[in-house]
């Protein structure tokens, strides 16, 4: 990620917590913002905050679990700004804090629909626009359950793990086709940036690992509620 100033950044779940802090930090750095949230009241409060910082803002009430709605949103944002450089898949919910036996199937369905498929929808819908920008990046905000287990966080663990892992796989695929695209995944405890892999210098038979990326992550992307 070369810079933030002047870039168009999409932030889902911008109505509170990490999403709001992220939007504010991007505004301070001079980004043009496309902010969305299913909570219209919270979103309006975020918009007022970033506008006070001088940011150009496009807003929309959005349910990221709705694939058709996300696809339409991506088209609308691209048409509004003419380009999209960065997508922050931040929208997510808690899984109720129950064990496997205690958690109802409806909680699994809703958590996976938002926390996993919301990320898939946002990435897939915006990817053509990110590639077209020549400097496209996706950042997924994941629960800490994506990298460690907790007995009462069962519904959030699978989508969090997928959320944290998917950017690396997408970046690898794009790098093989020389497509300009970078990615990173972040958890409340820290970030794990990824970038297209370099040729391996390891001995034959040993798996290579993607080198760390160099994008300047604002502190607010890895802290908050």
Task: Express each pLDDT in 34-57 by its tens digit.
Answer: 999 999 999 999 999 999 999 999
Q: Mean of the pLDDT values across residues 161-174?
A: 51
Beta strands in the chain (DSSP E): 8-11, 32-37, 57-61, 86-89, 136-141, 181-187, 190-194
Residues in the chain, total: 225
Q: For residue 206, give both structure tokens.
A: 């040993």
**What value does the mean pLDDT take over residues 197-219?**
40
Spatial CB neighbours of 95, under 8 Å, sequence gap ≥ 6: 103, 107, 108, 111, 115, 153, 154, 155, 156
Q: Work out the pLDDT band at 201, boundaries 50, 70, 90.
A: very low
Give how far Cα 188 sits from Cα of 46, 71, 157, 174, 222, Å. Answer: 20, 28, 14, 27, 5
Which residues does 200 contact at the CB level (< 8 Å), separation at least 6?
208
The reported pLDDT for the residue numbered 153 is 54
Burial class (CB in 10 A: 0-12, 13-18, 19+), 98: middle
Whether residue 74 contacts residue 124, with contact meaning beta carbons closer than 8 Å, is answered with no
Verdict on whether the full-model pTM lies above 0.85 = no
The pLDDT value recorded for residue 186 is 54
Q: How confident is the model at residue 166 (pLDDT cuts 50, 70, 90)?
A: low
- Pair of tokens at residue 63: 């349910």
Helix, strand, coil proportions of the chain in percent (round to 5)?
40, 15, 40
Tell me what the mean pLDDT of segment 166-171 comes to: 52
Burial bucket for residue 199 (CB in 10 Å: 0-12, 13-18, 19+)? exposed
Mean of pLDDT values over 161-184: 51
Q: Residue 154 has what pLDDT?
A: 53
For the record, the structure tokens of 1 come out as 């990620």
pLDDT reported for residue 57: 98
**Closest among 166, 153, 54, 173 to 116, alpha carbons compared:** 166
- Provide CATH code, domain 8-221: 3.40.50.720
Residue 125: closest CA among 166, 69, 74: 74
**The sheet that has 181-187: what strands, in order across it?**
57-61, 32-37, 8-11, 86-89, 136-141, 181-187, 190-194
Nearest one of 137, 118, 141 to 127, comparing CA atoms: 137
> Which pLDDT tens digit goes with each residue over 102-134?
888 898 899 889 988 999 999 999 999 999 999
65-109 pLDDT, tens digit each: 999 999 999 999 999 999 999 999 999 887 767 777 888 889 889
Residue in the structure block whose two tokens are 């949230």? 37
């Amino acid at each position: 990620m070369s810079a933030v100033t002047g870039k168009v950044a999409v932030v889902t779940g911008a109505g509170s917590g990490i999403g709001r802090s992220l939007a504010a930090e991007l505004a301070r750095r001079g980004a043009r913002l496309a902010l969305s949230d299913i909570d219209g009241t919270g979103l309006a409060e975020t918009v007022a905050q970033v506008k006070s910082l001088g940011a150009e803002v496009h807003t929309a009430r959005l349910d990221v679990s709705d694939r058709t709605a996300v696809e339409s949103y991506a088209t609308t944002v691209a048409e509004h700004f003419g380009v999209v450089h960065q997508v922050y898949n931040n929208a997510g919910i808690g899984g109720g804090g129950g064990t496997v036996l205690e958690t109802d199937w409806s909680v699994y369905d809703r958590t996976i629909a938002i926390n996993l498929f919301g990320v898939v929808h946002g990435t897939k819908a915006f990817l053509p626009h990110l590639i077209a920008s020549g400097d496209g990046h996706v950042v997924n905000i994941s629960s800490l359950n994506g990298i460690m287990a907790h007995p009462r966080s069962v519904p959030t663990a699978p989508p969090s793990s997928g959320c944290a892992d998917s950017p690396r796989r997408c970046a690898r695929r794009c790098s093989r086709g020389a497509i300009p695209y970078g990615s990173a995944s972040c958890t409340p405890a820290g970030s794990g940036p990824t970038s297209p892999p370099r040729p391996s210098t390891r001995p034959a038979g040993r798996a290579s690992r993607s080198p760390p990326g160099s994008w300047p992550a604002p502190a607010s992307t890895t802290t908050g509620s």
